[in-house]
Amino acid sequence: MECQFVPSVCSYCGTGCGVLFEVINGKIVGTLPMKTHPVNEGKLCLKGWNLHEHINSFMRVKQPLVKTFGRFIKTDWQEAISLTADRFRGIINQYGPDSIGVLVSAKITNEENYLAQKFARAVIGTNNVDHCARL
Amino acid sequence: MINNVKAWLEDGIVDVFLGYREMDHHHLPHCFTREHMEEVDDLVISQVRYPLEKIATHMTEMDPDIKIGMLARDCNDRALNVLFLWNQLKAENVSTLTVNCCPSRLKEHGDCSYLTPEKAGVFKKQVGVDNNLEVEELDTYGRKERLNRWMYEFQKCIKCYGCRNICPVCFCKECSLEHDELIKTGPLLPEIPIFHMVRAVHMAGRCIDCGLCEAACPMDIPLRLLYGKVSQIVKDVFDYDTGSSALESPFNILGDKVALEPKPMEPAIAVNE
Amino acid sequence: MTVKRITFLQELLGLLGLEERLHLSWISSAEAQKFVQVVSDFTEKIRSLGPNPLLAFRESKIAVAAELMPLNSKGDDYDQQRQSMA
């Protein structure tokens, strides 16, 4: 019986409360708040308390999926990326670059946010960049 | 104490030991095992408290014969008594290392001083219930204003289920608070006061006044007071000190030793027209 | 077991000031007279206690605590009435 307590940060909103995962035999079975964390001091919201269910949910997407004839078919990364790139190129040629918008998030790093807006502005050529906190 | 733990692990008295360890200046709970004996040197006793008994029940669920040792304060001892009583843990599989601790409301020499809640502000004292009150002082509120004061407190609830998740003696697989037909699970504001009153009724004979619920409540609802009142009622009516013994409880269906008469109805007061 | 729970619940509802609104009585189907008696008495009692105080909170989920609050806890004549009757 292997039991560990792994400290981590909640992945939902931008607050970043400290959580402890109860890992028994290599599987996450429970979530506890971290009492000495300066942000939350031992308190969690409903989303934070149920992180262990989110991680182990059967509804998590594990492979890229492509919608073919109305149904989702599993593919691999290479095909998914080239398909997306071709479709973006097609849309830009047909409707112009401003038809694509990019949404960034509070739970990815600042560097990834910068990368996303650079991608939107330099590669796609649009200023339509927005953030999940504004929604 | 570290030597005790090492001796226990080596002799096979316990398979795992639940205690606290310092990692990056945080005191976190840790499970010490025989394979990693050198970690036992980092065992500390700290002021932070986690519900180790709950983790013990999870482990026992997966492996009913596992022997668990734990660092036990007063509140942990009472919680373990309650869990033994309700067949969640086997008394012969759990060994405790008693640690000096501050006392509490249920035991006279106790007074968990580091559980002191924050000082209540002026508005809260005016319209709500002050967390710092004693249970006896709750009666000083008049009949009619009691409901308003408690509803003010309960309306702040965000239904995070923190109080139930962290409670060391809460172990039901199908919790009534999540049952859609008893308490509507959809809307964010739970149906008050039924949400907290259901929880209070379920805590009868189980709440050991460890205070973890109030510490976990993000809205500072005075839960210790509420469940303290429940414990006081249980003491007055059934003469049962929760957590003091692991033998029987008035709420165990088999322990029907308490004989009570239903209270007679008091006559109606004449309506003032 | 039932009696234990109901007694406990009556005391707990006293925390909210609702304790007299719950009553337990065992009546067999042959004791029609007793049933009528108990139900009429209880109806009278509830009528004298007044409407359900929780109704005020039902319309708006947020309690307007300051306005509904009778802030004097000493001037409650309910307890005095009880004492004079006892």
pLDDT tens per residue across span A23-59:
988 889 889 998 888 888 888 988 889 888 888 888 8
> What pLDDT score does B108 carry?
47
Q: What is the pLDDT along chain B (273 residues), one digit of tens a residue?
A: 777 777 777 777 778 888 888 888 888 888 888 887 777 777 777 777 888 888 888 888 888 888 888 888 777 888 888 888 888 888 888 888 877 665 444 544 444 544 566 666 777 777 777 777 777 777 777 777 788 888 888 888 888 888 888 988 888 888 888 887 878 777 666 777 888 888 888 888 888 888 888 888 888 888 888 888 888 888 888 777 777 776 666 676 655 555 666 666 666 554 443
**B37 and chain A in contact, CB less than 8 A:** no
Tens of pLDDT, residue by residue over A50-98, are 888 888 888 888 899 999 899 999 999 999 999 999 999 999 999 999 9
| Pairing mode, strands A27-33 and A18-24 | antiparallel
**CA–CA separation, B79 and B170 (whole Å):** 10
> What pLDDT score does C8 carry?
84
What kind and span of H or E run contains A22? Answer: strand A18-24
> What pLDDT score does A122 carry?
93
Q: If you measure CA to CA, which chain A residue comes closest to B167?
A: A32
**CA–CA separation, C50 and C47 (whole Å):** 5
Whether A and C touch (3+ CB pairs < 8 Å), yes or no: no
Residues of B numbered 119-178 whose beta carbons fall under 8 angstroms of chain C's beta carbons: which are they? 126-128, 138, 140-152, 155
> What pLDDT score does A129 carry?
92
Instruction: List Cβ neighbours of A69 (8 Å cut-off, separation of 6 or more).
Output: none
> What pLDDT score does B246 carry?
65
Flag whether the ipTM exceeds 0.90: no
What separation in angstroms does the CA of A26 have from each of A14, A34, A60, B147, B165?
28, 20, 19, 48, 21
> What pLDDT score does A83 carry?
93
Tens of pLDDT, residue by residue over C13-44, are 887 877 778 888 888 989 899 999 999 998 99
**CA–CA separation, B17 and B76 (whole Å):** 14
- B84 CA to centre of own chain: 15
What kind and span of H or E run contains A90? Answer: helix A77-95
Nearest to B250 among C4, C25, C42 (CB): C4
End-to-end CA distance of chain B, in Å? 72
Confidence class for position C74, pLDDT limits 50, 70, 90: very low
Instruction: For residue A32, list chain B residues with Cβ-Cβ distance below 8 A.
Output: 50-51, 166
Place of tokens 């609802």: B221
Say if pTM beats, i.e. exceeds, 0.90.
no
Instruction: For residue B16, list chain A residues with Cβ-Cβ distance below 8 A.
Output: 1, 3
B268 by Cβ neighbours in 10 Å (0-12 / 13-18 / 19+) ranks as middle
Angle at A22 (CA atoms; ends A17, A27), nearest 5 degrees: 120
> What pLDDT score does B115 carry?
59
Tens of pLDDT, residue by residue over C62-72, are 445 444 454 44
**CA–CA separation, A130 and A105 (whole Å):** 9
**CA–CA separation, B231 and B227 (whole Å):** 6
> What pLDDT score does B177 carry?
84
pLDDT over 70 at A130, yes or no: yes
- Mutate which of C5, C6, C12 to disrupt the B interface (most B C-beta within 10 Å)? C12
Q: What is the mean pLDDT of residues C48-67?
A: 65
Instruction: List Cβ neighbours of B181 (8 Å cut-off, separation of 6 or more).
Output: none
Backbone angles phi and psi of A103, in degrees to 5: -110, 125
pLDDT over 60 at C1, yes or no: yes
| Strands annotated E in B54-190 | 68-72, 94-98
What kind and span of H or E run contains B230? Answer: helix B223-238
Cis peptide before B193 (omega within 30 of 0): yes
C24: left (phi over 0), alpha (psi -120 to 50) or beta: beta
Q: What is the mean pLDDT of residues A12-28?
A: 87
> What pLDDT score does A79 carry?
93
**CA–CA separation, A21 and A33 (whole Å):** 9
Do the Cβ atoms of B243 and B227 come closer than 8 Å? Answer: no
> What pLDDT score does C65 carry?
45
**CA–CA separation, B199 and A81 (whole Å):** 51
Q: Average pLDDT over chain A, rounded to whole?
A: 89
Contacts of the segment B269-273: beta carbons below 8 A, 24+ positions apart: B269/C48, B269/C49, B269/C81, B269/C82, B269/C85, B270/C48, B271/C47, B271/C48
Confidence class for position C85, pLDDT limits 50, 70, 90: low
Per DSSP, the three-state class of A71 is: strand
Percentage of chain A with pLDDT > 90?
Answer: 44
Whether B and C touch (3+ CB pairs < 8 Å), yes or no: yes
Do the Cβ atoms of A21 and B50 come closer than 8 Å? Answer: no
Angle at B3 (CA atoms; ends B1, B9), nearest 5 degrees: 110
CB contact under 8 A, C78 and B204: no
**CA–CA separation, B214 and A103 (whole Å):** 38
Backbone angles phi and psi of A118, in degrees to 5: -70, -40
> What pLDDT score does B269 carry?
54
